[in-house]
Copies of this chain bind each other. A is one copy, B any other.
Amino acid sequence: MSHKVSVFRKEHFNAAHRLHNPAWTEEKNILIFGKCNNPNYHGHNYDLIVKVVGEPDKQTGYLIDLKMLSDLIKENVLEKFDHKNLNLDVPEFKDLNPSAENIAIIIYNILRDKIDKSLELQIRLYETERNFVEYPAN
């Protein structure tokens, strides 16, 4: 049994995207991505839950100050993604399809560099209330 604690912070952003593979024909894109391939884009209210795992500090009782974690997410993720077109406005998706899976991996990579290496990190991203992903899997 672990003596570690997990803490979670929920944030959200609103963005447009389109699923598309430029190596494929238009027909194959429509076949695979359906309505999500609309060339004029569609959009979502993304809910993002960031999980951080480690040992709480004895002095504060905190694993990590959730206000600081929230600010970190706002500065590094929400500033880049909120009210944006993921395909056009976010360089990480220039050559990468903005599927929920890939968005979660990109957010993980952005935050992994900003959070102490002794702490484990996991991203849960809701594209809708019914479709969501986690990275890395546990």
> Which residues of A does B touch, CB under 8 Å?
1-12, 14-17, 19, 21, 23-24, 32-36, 38, 40-45, 53, 56, 59-63, 65-67, 70, 82-85, 88-89, 96-102, 104-105, 120, 128-138
Contacts and interface: CB of A to CB of B under 8 A. Distances in A.
8 contacts: A7-B132, A10-B129, A14-B44, A35-B83, A42-B83, A42-B84, A44-B44, A56-B105
A101 B61 contact: yes
B128 A14 contact: yes
Contacts of A99: 56, 60-62
A113 to B, nearest CB: 15
Nearest to A37: B83
Nearest to A35: B83
A43 to B, nearest CB: 1
A85 B43 CA distance: 8
Given A2-B138, A5-B136, A136-B4, A62 B131 contact: no
Contacts of A16: 16, 40-43, 85
A96 B88 CA distance: 25
B82 A35 contact: yes
Nearest to A69: B131
Contacts of A56: 99, 101-102, 105
